[in-house]
Structure 1
């Protein structure tokens, strides 16, 4: 189960991470370094936490956070400013673990608005499979059909199947340079890129705060819930703090955020991992070792992916996020009292428009929050 967790966790969303990092200005080498730093960091974090707590603590990179980066665009100052935002996000995650009022404040963000912001962030990438088919049906259709057919039998393997189809399309359908395989082979030796961070107001508001909110609301808090549902009683504070520390360690090398896993957490914490709940933490430890191995191969993976038209890897990323989009959209519009505010949050975020150099995700949450506050104020006045 640990090996399966590592494969699914890496294969199903590394495309989102690469697209997100390049979306905020990373070069190919910096994106490969960020992918490696994240994978190694989350592997080490999973091992440390699982050994220390004897709980199956699964760790992942922030997939919603990577999708947020993809929709944010390059901020003033380039990738170094984004890295500054990553560091601030890591500090905020640590504070959320150490200082309970901050953790409670994040948990108090209205769930419909947090989900609406996430849905607005994800929808742009979810269009990519359709755009890939329009770009070239011979390239796009095999990827989508693999996802549909395999997913109808087993949702767990849908995205890995789409990834395999992408590899086959790239190998047999795309005209590659004569030295393509030599270039990929040359990247088998791990290489990291140090990125000196820059700290700006735009980086704080466009990158750090939205990244912190989606990571806490969509990953860390659900990750705790998954453990509790499976009969464990984790202490959230130390877990959040540790993931924040590893986020900070990965940030100067291009990694955006490390956090508790949600989907793969259920794999390690469930009965399929081991019939004895006290032994399931070994699955998370083995998954951590698997992530480290995948991380060391990140440069080769990135070099191989770069040989394809960008829309194809975006299509794989979009397919990986459809389920998350459906869940967040449903949660956003479920409550009638907050539906209009959620719609405003979703539309402003999905527009992708930046104001004053600040991304739409922040303005969407702010606009929806003001709408919700005004609606509640009006209703309270009406009762009087």
Structure 2
């Protein structure tokens, strides 16, 4: 009991207003910059508005509690997020046989794989061994479709689409961190003043302030496993969990990756029955909590991620109102906000994919097959893109070895 009290007392002494502010800012930026991607992804795989709201709420609360638990236990600034690239993957995959129930079954499989990757080192090493150019090419192929949405929104209606894009460009020129929240604010203004809202819509919006948690009966299928579960697992590990550890190490923290992966997988399993796709270590917002802006003393920065966790839980309880409000707008407008939120991720993944000359062709094949959106045998292009690129890379390496041996002779 004494140890518990002294531990709590030490935590309170570590608290600072600076960390509190950074944590709340992290929660706002983390939610505002990508909730549109999550809603669009869940909708694309067959979720109803109520199920999408339930999934958004489950993800927010799960990642909030996960951040609180990990930060309090480790005393490290462990930032948690939903899998934004994973949601973009769902958007590019579209409906599968079995509908949203099959997608939820795939979410559960993905969560289990993340737990196993954390506890079973060979699986974690196998994921890390996937060539980075191919993983980045698959991710950029997944993202490019949504990144077209801002241009399509302007073509759909310049009066509605242009303010969103202009707000992102102008604010981003001064402060990149606020670019997507500015686009979101422009979306709200456009929806409020530029879209005819049906009578009674606002009253229904008030009634849906707190969403009802909807349990979705999972259906397990081969199509769900190959089209959603495996690509979602690879994207989440390669573009979120592994970079999340890298961000912590850059800021001179050295946590054991395995247990962190396993805990995020556990919270993914908890959110999946309610429609949430995946919870993971944050990559972008991790830098906000782990950096000097959170506090000058690295040992006191964990309060930023802990506070962010509280913020995510609160924002999760507002998911119903957010979803109902977004549903009032033409879908292309929220897709535009989602696309703008993913421009940075697309550019960095594309650059990393094509940087090395020896793997450039294999990365191009992975990108093109994935970006085509074509599915074969009910299996999404993301999986086939990784397979095609892997075969091309293996062939290139075999030819290179054969040429070297020929020259030696």
Instruction: Please provide the CA RMSD for this pair.
Output: 0.4
Correspondence for 1:138 among 133, 138, 159: 159
Q: Is the 8 A contact 2:210 2:319 kept in 1?
A: no
Correspondence for 1:162 among 177, 183, 195: 183
Cα distance in 2, alignment partners of residues 216 and 281 from structure 1: 23
Cα distance in 1, alignment partners of residues 84 and 29 from structure 2: 13
Q: Are 1:250 and 2:271 an aligned pair? A: yes
CA drift at 1:204: 0.3
Cα distance in 2, alignment partners of residues 190 and 11 from structure 1: 18
Q: Are 1:85 and 2:116 an aligned pair? A: no
1:58-88 deviation per Cα after TM superposition (whole angstroms, max 9, x unaligned)? 0000000000000001000000000000000
Cα distance in 2, alignment partners of residues 373 and 115 from structure 1: 17
DSSP 3-state at the match of 1:60: strand
Cα distance in 1, alignment partners of residues 350 and 295 from structure 2: 34
TM-score (norm 2): 0.94
| Unaligned segments of structure 1, at least 5 residues | none
DSSP 3-state at the match of 2:342: helix
Q: 1:187-336 maps to which residues of 2 (within 5 A)? A: 187-336=208-357
CA drift at 1:382: 1.1
Greater Cα radius of gyration, structure 1 or 2: 2
Q: Are 1:350 and 2:371 an aligned pair? A: yes
Aligned to 1:64: 85
1:199-234 deviation per Cα after TM superposition (whole angstroms, max 9, x unaligned)? 000000000000000000000000000000001011
Aligned residues: 384
Moved over 2 A (4+): none
Cα distance in 2, alignment partners of residues 325 and 217 from structure 1: 14
DSSP 3-state at the match of 2:210: coil
Q: Are 1:36 and 2:57 an aligned pair? A: yes
1:250-295 deviation per Cα after TM superposition (whole angstroms, max 9, x unaligned)? 0000000000000100000000101111110000010000000000
Q: Are 1:104 and 2:104 an aligned pair? A: no
CA drift at 1:190: 3.1
| Unaligned segments of structure 2, at least 5 residues | 1-21
CA drift at 1:103: 0.5
Cα distance in 1, alignment partners of residues 359 and 255 from structure 2: 31
CA drift at 1:189: 2.7
